[in-house]
């Protein structure tokens, strides 16, 4: 809420910029295909001996430290790390005081093999019963090798709780990945919504697969040790490699990355939901069964019924494969999930769907194709005010490079698309408004990137807005935008 105290000129500037984009919604004009392509750095993985992957000194020092939300409502975190010399304790010391740690939690240790690679000792420790909106310091490891970090819990679940999410996808471990990560860390984002394809370790063979999971864990630690990353899995997490004797899908990923799936009554860590501040976030698995009556389908059917927009106005869905994509890369791959779930997204008025997979950026207008019918001839996406905005952020910067070829002409549903590296932020201001921004990696060239003001799909309706107290309506942007 404090952000509204900024000079109004800035806000107006943003509003006017948004209005340019939003005007397309009303006129039905085609969107923008940016011609900008960033090409300074090749998409090669950072060498193993680079300082980006340097592990902490000391016997059995914890490495690859990361946290994620540990419960449904944001009062718990799961802290994970790896030790390599011996298992060591899975204990976390934590507290709110600067002077010491008055609380402890015990976790557990796991490990796995992949071909002949033997993982380190992977620790997962749940810390629950935390206070909202509080900074916690924590310490892991033993003696001289122990390490200290901190995190901030989210505000209490409340419809007007402001919060800033970052959205990153298909990150990998190249110099472009590093640039994306560093730019995100300057954005003020408080939690990352990660839309799949983490390390790209599966681009390697034999023991290097495990090694590149380790380097990635160390690479992202600069952010993941201090704020939660909300994980979803992509195709690069499957690692189905029968020629190496590895046929168990998601083996490395599921040992290394945990999710609070039980808290949302999910039966599988690959799909789950959390609530954080004023957002209800649903994570789907593009590479698990989702047709009618499968566990994921049944779970989502129930989860949507639990969404309470009076408590958490912002309904966000994460998945790896985009449902609307006008890039030649991975064209139509999301069609099966669209056929299954799009009508629910419209019915429940999902605000925004974030995906990755396509190594470019694209944003849709609010459109749906729920009347598609193979016998009636209805087969085009049409403007639909109840539909989500679909955003593809598969541009983290992995070694596969950019997906530079968009289908021409740009379809009517596509509002903005550009093949360059970056990340997004969604800054929720209150129950009615959020600022969205796509941030291309900074390269010294001043070219417009994509931004707009998102009106909440539930509270944005005139009828509900009328019910709100007057002070909610004093936003300078309110009369201008209608997205
Ligand atoms: Fe992918």
pLDDT at 457: 97
pLDDT at 324: 97
pLDDT at 460: 83
Q: What is the DSSP letter of 2?
A: G
pLDDT at 36: 74
Strands of 54-102 (E only): list them. 63-69, 77-83, 91-95
**C-alpha 358 to ligand 1 mean position (Å):** 7
Mean pLDDT of the residues in the chain: 90
How many other C-beta atoms can be found within 10 angstroms of the C-beta atom of residue 373? 9
Which of 171, 216, 267 shows the shortest CA–CA distance to 66? 216
pLDDT at 218: 98
Q: 51-55, 57-61, 124-128, 473-477: which range is least confident on average? A: 473-477
Peptide bond into 76 cis (omega under 30): no
In a domain, 364, yes or no: yes
In a domain, 324, yes or no: yes
In a domain, 329, yes or no: yes
List the structure tokens of 108. Answer: 């557990």
pLDDT at 376: 78
**Domain around 422:** 158-466
pLDDT in tens, 69-82: 999 999 999 999 99
In a domain, 279, yes or no: yes
Q: Is the pLDDT of residue 21 over 60?
A: no
Q: What H or E segment, with its residue span, contains residue 303?
A: helix 295-306
Q: Say if residues 285 and 233 touch (Cβ distance below 8 Å).
A: yes
Q: Is the pLDDT of residue 22 over 60?
A: no
Q: Is the pLDDT of residue 470 over 60?
A: no
Q: 27-36, 263-272, 334-343, 367-376: which range is least confident on average? A: 27-36
If one counts the domains in the chain, the total is 1
Q: 13-17, 275-279, 325-329: which range is least confident on average? A: 13-17
Contacts of 293 (CB under 8 A, 6+ apart): none
Mean pLDDT of 148-159: 98
Q: What H or E segment, with its residue span, contains residue 273?
A: strand 272-276
Q: What is the DSSP letter of 58?
A: S
| φ and ψ of 209, to 5 deg | -60, -50
Q: What H or E segment, with its residue span, contains residue 223?
A: helix 221-224
Distance CA 259, CA 269 (A): 6
pLDDT at 466: 59
Instruction: Evaluate the CA torsion angle 431, 453, 339, 169 in order and state its sign.
Output: negative
In a domain, 39, yes or no: no
pLDDT at 342: 98
**C-alpha 172 to ligand 1 mean position (Å):** 11
Mean pLDDT of 193-208: 98
Q: For residues 386 and 472, which has the higher predicted lDDT (pLDDT)?
A: 386
pLDDT in tens, 169-184: 999 999 999 999 999 9
pLDDT in tens, 54-66: 999 999 999 999 9
Catalytic residues: 330
Distance CA 170, CA 113 (A): 24
**C-alpha 193 to ligand 1 mean position (Å):** 15
- The helix/strand/coil state of 122 is strand
Mean pLDDT of 153-178: 97
Mean pLDDT of 199-204: 98
Q: Is the pLDDT of residue 6 over 70?
A: no
Mean pLDDT of 188-215: 98
pLDDT in tens, 399-417: 998 998 999 999 999 999 9
Mean pLDDT of 296-320: 98
Q: For residues 28 and 199, which has the higher predicted lDDT (pLDDT)?
A: 199
pLDDT in tens, 25-39: 333 456 888 877 665
In a domain, 430, yes or no: yes
Distance CA 165, CA 50 (A): 29
**C-alpha 132 to ligand 1 mean position (Å):** 34
pLDDT at 441: 84
Q: 139-148, 226-235, 400-409: which range is least confident on average? A: 400-409
Q: Is the pLDDT of residue 14 over 70?
A: no
pLDDT at 12: 43
Strands of 141-222 (E only): list them. 147-152, 163-168, 191-194
How many other C-beta atoms can be found within 10 angstroms of the C-beta atom of residue 44? 12
Distance CA 373, CA 241 (A): 38
Q: What H or E segment, with its residue span, contains residue 345?
A: helix 335-347
How many other C-beta atoms can be found within 10 angstroms of the C-beta atom of residue 97? 10
In a domain, 479, yes or no: no
**C-alpha 427 to ligand 1 mean position (Å):** 26
Token pair 């799936």: residue: 261
**C-alpha 320 to ligand 1 mean position (Å):** 7
Q: Is the pLDDT of residue 297 over 60?
A: yes
- The helix/strand/coil state of 167 is strand
**C-alpha 483 to ligand 1 mean position (Å):** 29
252: domain CATH number is 3.60.21.10
**C-alpha 295 to ligand 1 mean position (Å):** 23
In a domain, 222, yes or no: yes
How many other C-beta atoms can be found within 10 angstroms of the C-beta atom of residue 143? 9
Q: Is the pLDDT of residue 7 over 80?
A: no
- The helix/strand/coil state of 103 is strand
pLDDT at 468: 62
pLDDT at 442: 72
């Amino acid at each position: 809420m404090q952000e509204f105290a900024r000079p109004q000129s800035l806000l107006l500037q943003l509003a006017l910029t948004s209005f340019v984009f939003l005007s397309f919604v009303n006129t039905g004009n085609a969107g923008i295909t940016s011609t900008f392509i960033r090409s300074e750095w090749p998409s090669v993985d950072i060498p193993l001996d680079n300082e980006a992957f340097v592990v902490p000194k000391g016997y059995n020092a914890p490495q690859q430290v990361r946290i994620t939300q540990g419960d449904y409502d944001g009062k718990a975190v799961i802290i994970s790390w790896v030790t390599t010399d011996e298992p060591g304790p899975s204990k976390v010391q934590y507290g709110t005081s600067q002077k010491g740690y008055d609380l402890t939690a015990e976790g557990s240790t796991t490990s796995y093999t992949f071909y002949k690679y033997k993982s380190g000792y992977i620790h997962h420790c749940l810390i629950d019963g935390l206070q909202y909106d509080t900074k916690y310091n924590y310490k892991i490891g033993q003696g001289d090798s122990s390490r200290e970090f901190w995190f901030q819990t989210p505000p209490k679940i409340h419809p007007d709780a402001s919060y800033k999410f970052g959205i990153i996808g298909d990150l990998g471990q190249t110099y472009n990945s590093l640039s994306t990560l560093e730019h995100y860390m300057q954005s003020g984002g408080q939690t990352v919504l990660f839309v799949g394809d983490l390390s790209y370790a599966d681009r390697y063979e034999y023991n290097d697969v495990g090694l590149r999971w380790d380097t990635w864990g160390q690479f992202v630690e600069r952010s993941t040790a201090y704020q939660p990353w909300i994980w979803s899995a992509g195709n690069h997490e499957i690692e189905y490699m029968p020629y190496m004797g590895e046929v168990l899908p998601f083996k490395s990923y599921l040992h290394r990355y945990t999710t609070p799936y039980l808290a949302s009554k999910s039966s599988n860590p690959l799909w789950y939901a959390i609530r954080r501040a004023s957002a209800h976030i649903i994570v789907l698995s593009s590479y698990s069964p989702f047709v009618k009556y499968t566990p994921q389908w049944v779970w989502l059917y129930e989860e949507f019924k639990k969404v309470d927009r009076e408590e958490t106005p912002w309904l966000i869905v994460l998945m790896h494969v985009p449902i609307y994509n006008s890039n030649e890369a991975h064209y139509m791959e999301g069609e099966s999930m669209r056929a299954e779930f799009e009508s629910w997204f419209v019915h429940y008025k999902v605000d925004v769907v974030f995906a990755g997979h396509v190594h470019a950026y694209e944003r849709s207008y609010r459109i749906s194709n729920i009347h598609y019918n193979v016998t009636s001839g209805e087969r085009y996406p049409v403007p639909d005010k109840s539909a989500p905005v679909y955003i593809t952020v598969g541009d983290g910067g992995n070694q596969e490079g950019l997906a530079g070829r968009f289908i021409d002409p740009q379809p009517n549903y596509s509002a903005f698309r550009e093949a360059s590296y970056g990340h997004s932020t969604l800054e929720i201001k209150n129950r009615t408004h959020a600022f969205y921004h796509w941030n291309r990696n900074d390269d010294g060239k001043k070219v417009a990137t994509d931004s707009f003001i998102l009106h909440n799909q539930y509270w944005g309706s005139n009828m509900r807005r009328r019910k709100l107290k007057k002070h909610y309506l004093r936003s300078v942007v309110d009369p201008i935008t209608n997205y």
